[in-house]
Structure 1
Amino acid sequence: MKNAAGLGVIIRDSEGCVIGALAERIPLPISVATVEALACRRAVQFAKDLSIYEATFEGDAEIVTNALRAGASNHPEFGLVINDSLALASGFPLL
Structure 2
Amino acid sequence: MEELGGPRLYGCFRCRNHVSRHDDIVSKDFQSGNNRAFLFSHAMNIVEGPKEDRNLITGLHTVADVFCSDCGELLGWKYERAYEESQKYKEGKIILEKFKIIKDNW
Same fold (TM over 0.5): no
| Structure exhibiting the larger radius of gyration computed from Cα positions | 2
Greater strand content: 2
TM range (shorter): 0.3 to 0.5
TM-score normalized with structure 2 length: 0.30
Q: Which has the higher contact order (CA 8 A, sep 6+)?
A: 2
TM-score normalized with structure 1 length: 0.32
